[in-house]
Amino acid sequence: MNMGTFSLSKADVARKCVAILGIRGSGKSNTSKVMIEEAIKEGLPVTVIDPDAEYVDLVNSMGGDIVTGSDDASLRSEVHHRKAISSVIDMSEWNQESFSFLYKYLTNIWEMSKDRRTDRMIVVEEAHEFIPQGKVSGISEIITRLALRGRKRGIGIILISQRSAKVNKDVLTQSEIYMLHKVVHPADLKVYKEILPWKPKEVDSVVPSLEVGEALFYKEGKTEKVKIRQSTYNTLQFSQFREDATNMI
Picking from 50-59, 122-131, 153-162, 226-235, which range would have the lowest pLDDT averaged per residue? 226-235
Is the pLDDT assigned to residue 128 strictly greater than 70?
yes
Is the pLDDT assigned to residue 240 strictly greater than 70?
no
Is the pLDDT assigned to residue 235 strictly greater than 70?
no
Q: Can you give the pTM of this predicted structure?
A: 0.91
What is the arithmetic mean of pLDDT over 207-234?
94
pLDDT score recorded for residue 241:
35
Starting at the earlier edge strand, list the strands of the sheet with 46-50. 65-67, 87-90, 46-50, 120-124, 155-161, 17-21, 177-180, 214-219, 222-227
The answer to whether residue 5 sits within a structural domain is no
Characterize the bridge pairing of strands 46-50 and 87-90.
parallel
What is the arithmetic mean of pLDDT over 97-114?
96
Mean pLDDT of the chain: 92
CA 159 to chain centre: 5
pLDDT score recorded for residue 116:
84
**Which residues face 157 on adjacent strands?**
17, 122
Local confidence band at 248 (pLDDT 50, 70, 90 cut-offs): very low
CATH number for position 22: 3.40.50.300
The answer to whether residue 185 sits within a structural domain is yes
The answer to whether residue 236 sits within a structural domain is yes
The answer to whether residue 180 sits within a structural domain is yes
pLDDT score recorded for residue 117:
84
**Integer Cα distance of 192 and 172 in angstroms:** 11
Is the pLDDT assigned to residue 247 strictly greater than 80?
no
Helices (H), the chain: 10-13, 28-41, 56-61, 73-83, 96-112, 127-130, 138-149, 169-172, 186-195, 200-206, 232-248
CA gyration radius for the chain?
Answer: 18
The answer to whether residue 4 sits within a structural domain is no
The answer to whether residue 205 sits within a structural domain is yes
Nearest to 110 by CA among 60, 163, 73: 73
Percent of the chain scoring above 70 in pLDDT = 94
92, with CB counted inside 10 A (0-12, 13-18, 19+), is: middle
Is the pLDDT assigned to residue 238 strictly greater than 90?
no
What is the arithmetic mean of pLDDT over 107-132?
95
pLDDT score recorded for residue 233:
75
Instruction: Count how many domains the chain has.
Output: 1
Domain ranges, residue 66: 10-248
For the stretch 79-88, pLDDT in tens is 999 999 999 9
Local confidence band at 234 (pLDDT 50, 70, 90 cut-offs): low
Is the pLDDT assigned to residue 207 strictly greater than 70?
yes
For the stretch 20-67, pLDDT in tens is 999 999 999 999 999 999 999 999 999 999 999 999 999 999 999 999
For the stretch 130-141, pLDDT in tens is 999 999 999 999
What is the arithmetic mean of pLDDT over 222-246?
68
Phi/psi of residue 142, each to 5°? -70, -35
The answer to whether residue 62 sits within a structural domain is yes
pLDDT score recorded for residue 188:
97
The answer to whether residue 2 sits within a structural domain is no
